[in-house]
Amino acid sequence: MAKHDIDPNYLDPNYEPVVNHSENLPFHQVLSARMQRRAVMKGTVGAALASVMGLGLVACGGDSDSDEDTTSGNTQTPGTTERTLGFQAIPVSTANEVVVPSGYSAEAFLPWGTPITGSYPDYRPDGTNTGADQEQQVGMHHDGMHFFPLDQKSGGSSSEEGLLVMNHEYINQSAIHPNGATVNTDGSRPADEVRKEIAAHGVSVVHIKRDSNGVWDVVQSAYNRRVTGGTAMDIRGPLRGYEKLVTPYSLDATATRGTLNNCSMGPTPWGTYLTAEENWHGYFAFDTDVAERPREYARHGVGGSSRYDWEKADSGLDQYRRFDVTPTVDGSATTDYRNEANTFGYMVEIDPFSPESKPQKRTALGRFGHEGVIFAPAKEGEPVVCYSGDDSRFEYIYKFVSSKPYYAATAGGYLLDEGTLYVARFNEDGSGEWLALDLDNPAFASKVNAAKGTTVGDVAFDGFENQADVLLNTRLAADIAGATPMDRPEWGAVDPNTGEVYFTLTNNTKRTEDQVNASNPVAQNKNGHIIRWQEAGNDYTADSFDWDIFVFAGEQGTETVVDGDAVVTLNDDNIFNSPDGLWFDYNGRLWIQTDGYSDETFGNQMMLAANPETREIKRFFVGPQGCEVTGVVTTPDSKTMFVNIQHPRGNWPNAAEDRPRDACVIVTRNDGGVIGA
Binding stretches for ligand FEO (CB under 6 A): 169, 263, 278, 371, 391, 490, 580
By CB under 5 A, tell whether 626 contacts Ca ion: no
- Least distance in Å: CB of 606 to ligand FEO? 16
Q: Is the CB of 361 or the CB of 393 nearer to ligand FEO?
A: 393
- Least distance in Å: CB of 134 to ligand FEO? 21
Residue of this chain nearest to Ca ion (CB atom): 595
Among 197-205, 462-470, 591-599, 664-672, the segment contacting Ca ion (CB under 5 A): 591-599
Q: Is the CB of 173 or the CB of 506 nearer to ligand FEO?
A: 506
- Least distance in Å: CB of 15 to Ca ion? 9
* Strand residue runs (E) in 258-308: 262-267, 273-277
Q: Is the CB of 276 or the CB of 567 nearer to ligand FEO?
A: 276
* Core vs surface per residue 172-206: b (16+ CB within 10 A) or e: bbebbbeeebeeeeeebbbbbbbbbbbbbbbbbbb
For residue 627, give the nearest of 652, 599, 659 by alpha carbon: 652
By CB under 5 A, tell whether 580 contacts Ca ion: yes
- Least distance in Å: CB of 169 to Ca ion? 5
Q: Dihedral of CA 559/560/566/570: which sign?
A: negative
- Least distance in Å: CB of 607 to ligand FEO? 15
Find the binding residues for Ca ion in span 594-613 (CB under 5 A): 595
Q: Backbone phi, then psi, for 4, in 5-degree steps? A: -70, -15
Which phi-psi region, left, alpha or beta, contains residue 46 (left: φ > 0; alpha: ψ -120 to 50)? left
By CB under 5 A, tell whether 277 contacts Ca ion: no
> Mask: binding to Ca ion, 165-184, rule CB under 5 A, as x and -?
----x---------------
Q: Is the CB of 311 or the CB of 628 nearer to Ca ion?
A: 628
Distance of CA 138 to the CA centre of its chain: 20
By CB under 5 A, tell whether 149 contacts Ca ion: no
CA distance linking residue 479 with residue 667, whole number of Å? 43
> Mask: binding to Ca ion, 472-491, rule CB under 5 A, as x and -?
------------------x-
**Cβ atoms of residues 458 and 473 within 8 Å:** no
CA distance linking residue 488 with residue 390, whole number of Å? 7
- Least distance in Å: CB of 500 to ligand FEO? 22
- ω into 653 cis (within 30 of 0): yes
- Least distance in Å: CB of 324 to Ca ion? 26
DSSP string, 26-62: -HHHHHHHHHH-SEEEE-SS-HHHHHHH-HHHHHTTT
Q: Which does 311 bind (CB under 5 to 8 A by kind): ligand FEO, Ca ion, none?
A: none
By CB under 5 A, tell whether 13 contacts Ca ion: yes
Among 10-18, 109-117, 130-138, 353-361, the segment contacting Ca ion (CB under 5 A): 10-18
Q: Is the CB of 596 or the CB of 624 nearer to ligand FEO?
A: 596
Q: Which does 378 bind (CB under 5 to 8 A by kind): ligand FEO, Ca ion, none?
A: none
- Least distance in Å: CB of 141 to Ca ion? 7
By CB under 5 A, tell whether 162 contacts Ca ion: no
Q: Backbone phi, then psi, for 467, in 5-degree steps? A: -65, -30
Q: Is the CB of 371 or the CB of 555 nearer to ligand FEO?
A: 371
CA distance linking residue 25 with residue 352, whole number of Å? 43
Q: Which does 301 bind (CB under 5 to 8 A by kind): ligand FEO, Ca ion, none?
A: none
Q: Backbone phi, then psi, for 263, in 5-degree steps? A: -90, -95
Q: Which does 430 bind (CB under 5 to 8 A by kind): Ca ion, ligand FEO, none?
A: none
Q: Which does 197 bind (CB under 5 to 8 A by kind): Ca ion, ligand FEO, none?
A: none
3-state DSSP assignment of residue 553: coil
3-state DSSP assignment of residue 131: helix
Q: Which does 548 bind (CB under 5 to 8 A by kind): Ca ion, ligand FEO, none?
A: none
- Least distance in Å: CB of 462 to Ca ion? 35
Q: Backbone phi, then psi, for 116, in 5-degree steps? A: -130, -10
- 289: Cβ contacts below 8 Å, ≥ 6 apart: none
Q: Is the CB of 464 or the CB of 491 nearer to ligand FEO?
A: 491
Maximum separation of any 2 CA atoms in the chain, in Å: 69
**Cβ atoms of residues 505 and 520 within 8 Å:** yes
Q: Is the CB of 245 or the CB of 531 nearer to ligand FEO?
A: 531
By CB under 5 A, tell whether 662 contacts Ca ion: no
**Cβ atoms of residues 202 and 226 within 8 Å:** yes
3-state DSSP assignment of residue 162: strand
Q: Backbone phi, then psi, for 269, in 5-degree steps? A: -65, -15
**Cβ atoms of residues 359 and 233 within 8 Å:** yes
- Least distance in Å: CB of 580 to ligand FEO? 6
DSSP string, 490-536: EEEEE-TTT--EEEEE--BTT--GGG-BTTB--TTBSS-EEEEEEEG
Q: Is the CB of 53 or the CB of 263 nearer to Ca ion?
A: 263
Q: Is the CB of 490 or the CB of 555 nearer to Ca ion?
A: 490
Q: Is the CB of 263 or the CB of 570 nearer to ligand FEO?
A: 263
Q: Which does 278 bind (CB under 5 to 8 A by kind): ligand FEO, Ca ion, none?
A: ligand FEO
Q: Is the CB of 391 or the CB of 548 nearer to ligand FEO?
A: 391
- Least distance in Å: CB of 12 to ligand FEO? 12
- 492: Cβ contacts below 8 Å, ≥ 6 apart: 372, 373, 374, 387, 388, 389, 397, 501, 502, 503, 504, 582
- Least distance in Å: CB of 243 to ligand FEO? 31
Q: Is the CB of 169 or the CB of 193 nearer to Ca ion?
A: 169
Residues of this chain that interact with Ca ion (CB under 5 A) are 13, 169, 263, 490, 580, 595
